[in-house]
Structure 1
Amino acid sequence: MSFFKIRSIQSKILSLFLFLLLIVQLVSFFSTFQASKQLETIQLTNRLSNAKDVFETQFSNRSYYLSAFAETAAKDYGLKSVLREDNKSFLVALNNHRKRINSDLAMAIDNDGLVFAQLVTYKTPQGKTKVRIGKGQGAYFGQDRELFAEANTQLVKLNEQLYQLSLAPIKSGSRNIGWIGFGYLIDAELAMELANLTDVNVAFVLGENDDKQLIAADQYERLNKGNIAIESVIANPAGDYVRELVPLGQLAEQGISAVLYKSKADLLASIGVEWLRLALLIALTVALSVVGAIAIARGITLPIKQLVSQVKLISQGNYDQSVEVDGSKELKQLSDEFNQMTDAVVSREQTISFQAFHDPLSHLPNRNSLLKALSKRKHAQQDFLVIQLCYLGAEDITDTLGYQVGDDVINEVAERIVKTNLGLSCFHLGGENFVLLADMQDIAPLVEQLLAELTIRCQYENISLHLQFALGIAISTLHNGGQETELLQKSNVALQHAKKNKKPYQVYDPQFDQNAVERLFLTNSLKQAIEQDELTLFYQPKLRLSDMTISHVEALVRWQHPEKGLIPPDAFISIAEKTGQMDALTRWVTQAAVNQYVSWQQKGLDINIAINISAANIMDKSYPDFVIDLKQAHQLSDNAITLEVTEEAVVEDAEQATAILCYLREHGFKLSIDDYGTGYSSLAQLKQLPVHELKIDRSFVQHLSTDESDKIIVRSTLELAHNMGLSVVAEGIEDETALLWLKAQNCQLAQGYFISKPLPADVFEQWIDNTPYQISRTKN
């Protein structure tokens, strides 16, 4: 399609003129064509209509003439006087009457229908018309008696010829004594006569529908020999003819019609449009228009070409020349505006160049300048430090004092950095983030001096701001093979590590990226793990110390990753909390634990399962409804499931937590406070909570055999819980001494590695078959 593209303005103007001309010519041609077609239609319709009117008039006149003359002749006394004399005298008298109207037939019939006189005409070889006695004389007239009605002109066939006949009665007084008639032949001569009058071809046919028999025609030879079939003229399938059928009468129950027809080609020859002359006129118009269009286009495009030449100079960076265009006022104004635009481009280019490589607020070099500087240092193979720096609390300053104060603080920091005498290249990445490039040197002294010069106290609206800074440092020699942006990424990782650990600065360590990539991988995969059932539950037994029976387990979730293998909960629980997936995770654990409980019940094991629920579950009313629906669906007994909630979850919103826990307790769930002693709950809060159980944190249990203070804390907790009617679970039991001590203190349940580590369900079932402890089983 590129071949047909019009690229130059001159060509476009020329094409526009030609296109408009073509449209005009097409419209003109179409109008002429339509007018011609309408004229043809009108001409054909009028010609045929006139021909039909003339034909019908002529044929009717003949009928009327025959009828009137027959009546006149029937009343002729002289003809009546010889009627009873010899036949010859009558024939002479009859022939005299015939000559008056030049009829082709004259005849007389008596009352019995006997033709006693008949005269017919014929043509001699020399073309002269003669008269003779007809073959029907002396015979009975074989036509219907309707022909004898007064003034009735009919079509009859006599002596193998078709006549237009009119009979009139011969009366003697009031008595009818016979009939006299005259007729004209319907033959080729009549057809030619009528054709000359109507200026169309005329044919007489006998028959109905498609069965037509040609009787006579002005083109009889052509029609009779098959050059033109009268049927094809009448049917006219190709539309080559205009024709009209004019009914004339009946003959032996068959219709006789006149076919008026004419070839369309003959009719239209006289009104044809002179297309050749029209084509020559169009060609001449196009040629003149092209010449005019070329001249106009050249006059318009010449100044434009001068402007294009100037544009090329500008694109090459040459702004010194100006353009002067001679021509119309508009083009002169265009050249002046173009020169002013060139000056504006120079100014704007300088502004854009500055803005592209400098921060709009601090006017320090920005990220683009930094990348260029890093690339330059890398190609120069210089060793250097990339120091990413930010001041802490920027969002608090903006939220508290407003954006204008925030911007003022940024400018103050930028100004301080520029004024340092440490030979640093400073770049502003936006907001509170700055990057410094320094030659390779000892990091600790450099950072110490830099922070000393940057430590500032700002005064805004009677508020003194003491800014603190964090720095992340990447060393170029450790990352020579990477891209320029990699050094920025490494320094940013180090900066985030420094902020997270509240350190003034941090040098990048490759271990940081490894942990970050691993955490990002788990973050992106956790939702899929929950949906695709990649999680599994491990169960850690709880020993009922009163009778040394395994009666409870705690369900602990693990992630069986298809690539990473078994992932412990510490690696992904915090991710679920931060990404809003804790609810989905807890629901999966709850469903799996309930299914396991039902399965163990069917195997005869009566083991309570404890499930850890988070603060998000406590604050969400939909989770309690979910776990209640599960309990009802599986028809679980009360206290079959224990829900463990941490102190932190309770303290966050004690009123809401109390309401939800009451709701769960009312529906038959056992409730436990997990990790008791590590949070901030008070005795007053504990008193208000509708829980059944306290779970002492492992940090107080692991060293019971050696640490007296831990014994005091655990003993006090047990006494407190028992006084409040609560049972106690001690977790983290690592040796028999601690186990026996807790039993002696009436602790209800014990949990720890001394009893068993967490086990998958199938391994746990094998363990209970070999453990020395008793197993809680269902009652038959």
Structure 2
Amino acid sequence: MSFRVRLVTFVVALLVAVQALTGVLVYGVTRHALIGEGQRQLGVAAGAFARQLDDLSERVAASVQVLSLDFALRSAIAQQDRATVLSALSNHGRRVGATQMLLVGLDGRVEADTAGRLAPGAAFPYADLVEHALQRPASAVVASHDRAHWMVVVPVFAPDLVGFIAAAIPVDDRLLARLQAQSALPKDVELATVDAGRWRGIAHGAGSGLLVRELGPASSTLPMRAEVVEADDGREYVMQAVPLARSRHSAPVVALLGYSVDAALAPYRAVGLTWAALLGLGLLAGVAGAWLIARSVSRPVERLAASARRIEAGDYAPIGARVQGDELGALAAAFDSMAAAIREREARILHQAAHDPVTGLPNRSAAESAIQRALDAAPNGEAALLMVGLERVPDIVKTLGHGVGDRLMHDVGRRLALVAGADVARATDSRFAVFLPVAARADAVALATRLVDALAEPYREADVSLDLAPAVGIALAPLHGRDAAGLLRRADVALLAAAGSEGAIAVYDEATDPHRPERLSLMGDLLRALEQDEGLALHYQPKLDLATGRIDSVEALVRWRHPRLGLLPPDAFVGLAEQTGHIRRLTRWVLATGIAQASRWHAAGRDMRVSINVSARDVEDAELPRRVAALLAAHGLPAASLVLEITESALMRDPDAALPVLERLAAQGIALSIDDFGVGQSSFAYLRRLPVRELKIDRAFVAPLAQSPEDRVIVRSIVELAHALGCRVTAEGVEERAALDYLATVGCDHAQGYLVARPMEAVALDAFEPDLEFAVGA
């Protein structure tokens, strides 16, 4: 229900309630006053009615008493002339209005009856009236034959008492009507008598005759004082009962005086109708006024509500038309001010959310949205995304603080915008994104070159000159993707490649991307293979002892037969396992499998050392010595039969963490070997501290031995140095006979490579015998 309807409904309901309450109060007060007036009038009427009956009784008695003095009547009575008596009684009865005249003897028996109802000699029904008449005329209202009569008895003297004359005057509707006309009696006057245990009406004058119905059984108490009763027809009366003088031998007769409340209220009906008409007019006026007021209030409120909905949808336009000069006008003005403030704050928040606070350039999220819109607008066009990185920024911030770093990045953003135009955004703390919506590969490379040149100039502040070391990675659309997120990721990958290249510019190459989704899926498959021990196997590449020509050791190399991709080389998953942190699980599997195989060879009496590669993460694991010792103990393998190979770069990553682990392994009797020696960054001072027993010369020096005198000098020096340090030397990647002969000449201990043997399964290795020509001096 709307406000307008609610207001109108409230006003109408209020008016109706007030008027209804007023009407009820007025009706109640008026009714109460009329009832009081009716009770007063009935009290007066009861006394007047009693007096009228007394007067009637006296007149009738006087008239009958005149008859008793008639000489002819007394003579006829004395002579017992019944005909004369009846004639005299009938004539006089008509004059006084009696319907029955009786002559009663001294013995109380009827001697003559003008109505013929009582036979001569019958007992007079109302003997008590005869007794009272000896002193003076007696009268009473008696009920007989469904009628009421005023019975008057007077004595007859001639000169002595010779009898009694009784006159029965009917008290009927006509008499009551005459009495009502002669005095201020109420309209409703009724006579009632008892019949069969209930009150029954016998006369009702000019009234309706309904009052007697409210008396109920004869045993009930009569309303001797004025009381309010409700008649059968629903009308209200004020009623009072007046008992009439009666004979002991007659049923009681009462007069019921009634005052109609409804009739008394009738004159006020016109007032009520007028009041109702005024009420209707008031309601109409109230509805119209309330509707106009509600309209004047609701329309501005509706405009405010519509404006609120617009604000919710992002439209902060002013409300427009306002209510002036009142509270609603002030509210509308405040609402407009609020909308303007929200608009300004939201614009500021949106700008802050989409821009970098340092450079003022769009941030990565805003740039991604803008790039996606541009790609969607030209789905078949060529575009390029350049990721500009400054590798030295983290070091600069750590050294000089964030203040210098922020000013540096602001200057870089300005330089990039001058070269590339407006499509520049800050992607991360040290990277900027430049988008070319229409560009081929050559255009992207040309712009990348200009950007590197623009950033080649060092940043200067006070006495500090900072080289920025810029690099640019390029991703092309649609070659490298059609979505902004994918292009940003591939440009980041290309930037990593560019940072290590000589030209500082690189275009994304899927083949070198270590973060391809399929490689992540490959890691999931590898974990399942490790958990279920399915698809993984170790192949063993023999090492030739150049002094004896025997195979006395092997290197365990992991192989994986993928259920969908087939046989995968180690390079396809070992490096990825290293990057994702799963290399330790792979190493544990290789250690368990390799040591178990070495244990079988040892139990078979074959003296075979097994070399197993461990990664940089494994060397930093303090639990590695304990796990290796537990495996050796579980399989009963001497520690001397196991060699752990660690790359030179892995040792140099965190030498302080690696050295305690290596010392514990060496203390257990496990031989340690430095793999790919010569291509890392280890110093001889640090190498002297390592508990290693073997150096493996990298294939980069071994492969060109037949053609490169320089490499022969390097290899000879490494062999001599290793022997001086007490270490064995193994040359890996031996694929030519000349290289093998040279290694034997300079005293290299072992040779490993395709010339000796390819990696093979343990079963094949059990049957493998080297060509004796490899032996020294063959």
Band the TM-score falls in, shorter-chain normalisation: 0.5 to 0.7
1:315-343 Cα shifts (integer Å, max 9, x gaps): 4544251543898x6x7764553343233
Structure-2 residue corresponding to 1:321: 320
CA contact (8 A) 2:393 2:468 kept: no
Q: Does 1:616 find its partner at 2:612?
A: no
Q: Whole-Å Cα distance in 1 between the matches of residues 7 and 563 of structure 2?
A: 66
Letter in 2 for 1:503: G
Q: Does 1:371 find its partner at 2:372?
A: no
Q: Whole-Å Cα distance in 2 between the matches of residues 430 and 655 of structure 1?
A: 32
3-state SS in 2 of match to 1:605: coil
Aligned residue runs from structure 1 range 200-215, under 5 A: none
- Quote the offset at 1:583 in angstroms: 2.7
CA contact (8 A) 1:10 1:301 kept: no
3-state SS in 2 of match to 1:758: coil
Aligned residue runs from structure 1 range 266-415, under 5 A: 303=297, 306-313=300-307, 315-316=309-310, 317=315, 318-324=317-323, 334-352=331-349, 354-355=351-352, 358-366=355-363, 367-368=365-366, 371-372=369-370, 375=373, 379=377, 384-415=383-414
Q: Whole-Å Cα distance in 2 between the matches of residues 483 and 445 of structure 1?
A: 23
C-alpha spacing 1:296/1:664, structure 2 compared with 1 (3 Å): farther
Q: Whole-Å Cα distance in 1 between the matches of residues 409 and 337 of structure 2?
A: 38
Q: Whole-Å Cα distance in 2 between the matches of residues 597 and 667 of structure 1?
A: 17
Q: Does 1:501 find its partner at 2:524?
A: no
CA contact (8 A) 1:307 1:323 kept: no
Structure-2 residue corresponding to 1:462: 463
CA contact (8 A) 1:591 1:630 kept: yes
- Quote the offset at 1:578 in angstroms: 3.0
Aligned residue runs from structure 1 range 29-108, under 5 A: none
C-alpha spacing 1:762/1:326, structure 2 compared with 1 (3 Å): farther
Structure-1 residue corresponding to 2:593: 592
- Quote the offset at 1:512 in angstroms: 5.7
Aligned residue runs from structure 1 range 254-273, under 5 A: none
CA contact (8 A) 2:369 2:484 kept: yes
Aligned residue runs from structure 1 range 623-772, under 5 A: 623-651=624-652, 657=658, 659-681=660-682, 685-743=686-744, 746-765=747-766, 767-768=767-768
- Quote the offset at 1:555 in angstroms: 0.8
Q: Whole-Å Cα distance in 1 between the matches of residues 308 and 655 of structure 2?
A: 74
3-state SS in 2 of match to 1:639: helix
Structure-1 residue corresponding to 2:563: 562
3-state SS in 2 of match to 1:759: coil
- Quote the offset at 1:756 in angstroms: 0.9
Q: Whole-Å Cα distance in 1 between the matches of residues 689 and 482 of structure 2?
A: 60
Letter in 2 for 1:338: F
1:418-444 Cα shifts (integer Å, max 9, x gaps): 444x66544444544232436547525
- Quote the offset at 1:641 in angstroms: 1.3
Letter in 1 for 2:405: G
Q: Whole-Å Cα distance in 2 between the matches of residues 513 and 688 of structure 1?
A: 37
Q: Percent identity?
A: 35
Letter in 2 for 1:504: A
1:288-328 Cα shifts (integer Å, max 9, x gaps): xxxx9xx999999984663233332464544251543898x
Q: Whole-Å Cα distance in 2 between the matches of residues 565 and 635 of structure 1?
A: 35
Letter in 2 for 1:591: A
CA contact (8 A) 2:383 2:436 kept: yes
Letter in 2 for 1:394: V
Q: Whole-Å Cα distance in 2 between the matches of residues 511 and 653 of structure 1?
A: 30
Q: Whole-Å Cα distance in 1 between the matches of residues 352 and 722 of structure 2?
A: 69
- Quote the offset at 1:764 in angstroms: 2.6
Aligned residue runs from structure 1 range 120-269, under 5 A: none
Tell me how many residue pairs correspond in the alignment: 486
- Quote the offset at 1:530 in angstroms: 3.3
Q: Whole-Å Cα distance in 1 between the matches of residues 659 and 479 of structure 2?
A: 56
1:521-577 Cα shifts (integer Å, max 9, x gaps): 445554444333343211011223443322211111223322222222233333333
CA contact (8 A) 2:699 2:734 kept: yes
Q: Whole-Å Cα distance in 2 between the matches of residues 588 and 7 of structure 1?
A: 76
CA contact (8 A) 2:304 2:319 kept: no
CA contact (8 A) 1:472 1:491 kept: yes
CA contact (8 A) 1:611 1:644 kept: yes
Q: Whole-Å Cα distance in 2 between the matches of residues 414 and 628 of structure 1?
A: 57
3-state SS in 1 of match to 2:640: coil
Letter in 2 for 1:310: L
Q: Whole-Å Cα distance in 1 between the matches of residues 731 and 566 of structure 2?
A: 31
Letter in 1 for 2:302: V
Letter in 1 for 2:589: W
Structure-2 residue corresponding to 1:417: 416
3-state SS in 2 of match to 1:563: coil
- Quote the offset at 1:619 in angstroms: 3.5
C-alpha spacing 1:407/1:579, structure 2 compared with 1 (3 Å): same
Structure-2 residue corresponding to 1:216: none
- Quote the offset at 1:594 in angstroms: 1.1
- Quote the offset at 1:410 in angstroms: 2.5
Structure-1 residue corresponding to 2:554: 553
- Quote the offset at 1:624 in angstroms: 0.7
C-alpha spacing 1:353/1:301, structure 2 compared with 1 (3 Å): farther
C-alpha spacing 1:433/1:324, structure 2 compared with 1 (3 Å): same
CA contact (8 A) 1:538 1:758 kept: yes
Letter in 1 for 2:591: T
C-alpha spacing 1:404/1:596, structure 2 compared with 1 (3 Å): same
Unaligned 5+ residue runs, structure 2? Answer: 11-285, 774-778
Structure-2 residue corresponding to 1:472: 473
- Quote the offset at 1:714 in angstroms: 3.8
Letter in 2 for 1:576: A
Letter in 2 for 1:415: R
Letter in 1 for 2:340: D
CA contact (8 A) 1:303 1:325 kept: no
C-alpha spacing 1:412/1:594, structure 2 compared with 1 (3 Å): same
Q: Whole-Å Cα distance in 2 between the matches of residues 374 and 616 of structure 1?
A: 40
Q: Whole-Å Cα distance in 2 between the matches of residues 430 and 728 of structure 1?
A: 47
3-state SS in 2 of match to 1:675: strand
3-state SS in 2 of match to 1:324: coil
3-state SS in 2 of match to 1:550: strand
C-alpha spacing 1:639/1:297, structure 2 compared with 1 (3 Å): farther
CA contact (8 A) 2:375 2:483 kept: no
Q: Whole-Å Cα distance in 1 between the matches of residues 398 and 5 of structure 2?
A: 62
Q: Whole-Å Cα distance in 2 between the matches of residues 9 and 663 of structure 1?
A: 89
Structure-1 residue corresponding to 2:81: none
1:123-166 Cα shifts (integer Å, max 9, x gaps): xxxxxxxxxxxxxxxxxxxxxxxxxxxxxxxxxxxxxxxxxxxx
C-alpha spacing 1:584/1:389, structure 2 compared with 1 (3 Å): same
- Quote the offset at 1:699 in angstroms: 3.2
1:455-499 Cα shifts (integer Å, max 9, x gaps): 4443335311233433334455657x8345555455444434323
C-alpha spacing 1:559/1:9, structure 2 compared with 1 (3 Å): farther
Unaligned 5+ residue runs, structure 1? Answer: 1-5, 16-291, 775-780
Q: Whole-Å Cα distance in 1 between the matches of residues 686 and 366 of structure 2?
A: 57
- Root-mean-square deviation (CA, aligned residues, Å) is 4.4
Q: Whole-Å Cα distance in 2 between the matches of residues 429 and 569 of structure 1?
A: 35
